[in-house]
Structure 1
């Protein structure tokens, strides 16, 4: 029985797809098929029901899969013992939402290239929840994303909060005619927001619903910088983490509204697989650069 055969079986069950498992393992589909056959022959049982689509394990296959997960975690832990201090090399698969990627990613990538020239960084963008699922499935090594304070992550993932940020309502400079506003009054002017799936938008929508109001969206568009430029041009109101506003090139054309009944707070988390081997130093460097960029103190103890 070979570990590679076991890993191929676990990947097929986890992803429910031979092609996706092959992509995740960086193998051809025929190679994955051979490893599955080898594993079944070694155990003397049929592990997959090949008549179902997507692929599903047989009853005994499901029990074998659960045991394989335990074995593979222990093997990862063993590899971690000897690899975690090694110089980062190979590929680092990093997930970052576009909300913060435009502002925080450039410096982090530059530092990684300067510090670890043998490392190749692959960046994926998407909503935080989707990136987290990809991290769980082994498609990514680490994710920097915005989640609520106190977020509990799935087993096998380790998260550390890099910064706690206030979300602020922004308007064109000169917009405010008084010191205080209520959310219902802001709603009348419409919003410039990310499309559905954005946590900022979902939180705003919940707050409005609690007041019996529907979300009025003037423009749906990706990218904090572009959104702030449109707000500055008077196209609607925006919702943005305060540190990203302060670092924006549009800052002088914008002002923060004091909305008394809407003061959301969100954390920027760095989440990684429990075992990342020789990529640990690179993941730590990403966290340090982002924390410094946001004006915080690099955390020393990750929250499990």
Structure 2
């Protein structure tokens, strides 16, 4: 009888513990603040367009709704995403983290939307690669069509992002490989492999009227820069070069996209750094821009494939051939 009493008491204690666990779990679940996809999408649009006005026009909502949706995220994360005092909008450190994570989430959502339309092949393989934001417009569709034509039984997933983000994803095994443009003054970790396809000059660009004023990096530094946000390897390279001369990087404007940056430079907002072929493509329509001959700036870009796993060497060689044909065939 004594044993029966102890067993019953033990059972009741277990029930009390289970109920307490359920209660605490419910409280924690209720405290979780889930971000709305529409809020996240609005924030991504605002970052990539640099203005709330353009964002509201593209999404077909008024500007107050754009502001409200961004505020919703800030309240749930308890932090500011933008520096409200800057024009155009500049991301805070939290904002940069939310942008990169949010962009990845939206890309995954888009893939889910088309999941039911994909051909159901049980033995279909899949490879994930990265392409930097600066190359997406020129390379993404080209690579996808080429790969699907040659590997119809393999699914290709392309992840875009800034150079540093892609390098990290390759290192962590999230991507099989990434196409990158690594400035010559930036070094990769020892555990990463790099297949170099060719080199491109990285040049400083100014309006023609100001070219003669900027013969040195110090003079360029005083003018300030129109540049991509943190995470871009071009920015990292420029900042490193400036630091070597004890100079600061003054980001007058942080703008996404080559064309938008060149337009800002035309308006006199600062200088920019670009791969020379990118500038050459736009100079025909923008004759008032010119490359600055800076004596102490001689950085080149190593264009190639970064990977961490030797088992992907066949894929690395394949994408290397695509890159070579796209950007370096005329040099041979």
Q: Which category describes the TM-score, using the shorter chain as reference length?
A: 0.5 to 0.7
For residue 212 of structure 1, report the CA deviation from its aligned partner: 3.1
For residue 122 of structure 1, report the CA deviation from its aligned partner: 1.3
Matches of 1:232 and 1:162, distance apart in 2: 32
Give the corresponding residue for 2:254: 220
CA deviations on 1:68-111 (whole Å, 9 max, x unpaired) are xxxxxxxxxxxxxxxxxxxx953221112212333333322222
For residue 113 of structure 1, report the CA deviation from its aligned partner: 2.8
Give the corresponding residue for 1:117: 152
Give matches, 1:60-99, under 5 Å.
90-99=125-134
Task: Verify: 1:159 aligned to 2:181, yes or no.
Answer: no
Structure 1: runs of 5+ lacking an equivalent: 1-87, 300-304
Matches of 1:266 and 1:121, distance apart in 2: 26
Q: Secondary structure at the match of 1:125?
A: strand
Give the corresponding residue for 1:291: 324
CA deviations on 1:116-163 (whole Å, 9 max, x unpaired) are 3333221112333332232233211111112245955544x5421012
Change in Cα spacing, 1:248 to 1:115, as seen in structure 2 (3 Å) is farther
State the structure with bigger RCO (CA 8 A, min sep 6), 1 or 2.
1
Change in Cα spacing, 1:154 to 1:169, as seen in structure 2 (3 Å) is same
Matches of 1:257 and 1:97, distance apart in 2: 25
Matches of 2:319 and 2:331, distance apart in 1: 10
| Aligned partner of 2:265 among 205, 228, 231 | 231
Give matches, 1:257-268, under 5 Å.
257-268=292-303
| Aligned partner of 2:205 among 170, 189, 212 | 170
Give the corresponding residue for 2:43: none
Would the aligned equivalents of 2:183 and 2:234 in 1 still touch at CA under 8 Å?
no
Matches of 1:245 and 1:104, distance apart in 2: 16
For residue 234 of structure 1, report the CA deviation from its aligned partner: 3.0
Q: Secondary structure at the match of 1:140?
A: coil
Task: Verify: 1:203 aligned to 2:250, yes or no.
Answer: no
Change in Cα spacing, 1:252 to 1:113, as seen in structure 2 (3 Å) is farther
- Bigger Cα Rg: 2
Q: Would you tell me which structure has more helix in proportion to its own residues?
A: 2
Would the aligned equivalents of 2:304 and 2:323 in 1 still touch at CA under 8 Å?
no
Change in Cα spacing, 1:120 to 1:215, as seen in structure 2 (3 Å) is same
Would the aligned equivalents of 2:207 and 2:290 in 1 still touch at CA under 8 Å?
yes
| Aligned partner of 2:311 among 275, 278, 282 | 275
Structure 2: runs of 5+ lacking an equivalent: 1-122
Give the corresponding residue for 2:278: 244
Give the corresponding residue for 2:94: none
Matches of 2:287 and 2:328, distance apart in 1: 20
Would the aligned equivalents of 2:204 and 2:271 in 1 still touch at CA under 8 Å?
yes
Matches of 2:323 and 2:295, distance apart in 1: 30
Would the aligned equivalents of 1:245 and 1:251 in 2 still touch at CA under 8 Å?
no
Would the aligned equivalents of 2:195 and 2:305 in 1 still touch at CA under 8 Å?
yes
Q: Secondary structure at the match of 1:234?
A: coil
Would the aligned equivalents of 2:126 and 2:154 in 1 still touch at CA under 8 Å?
yes
Matches of 2:133 and 2:172, distance apart in 1: 21
TM-score (norm. length: structure 2): 0.54
TM-score (norm. length: structure 1): 0.59
Change in Cα spacing, 1:290 to 1:245, as seen in structure 2 (3 Å) is farther
Change in Cα spacing, 1:154 to 1:185, as seen in structure 2 (3 Å) is closer
Would the aligned equivalents of 2:165 and 2:231 in 1 still touch at CA under 8 Å?
no
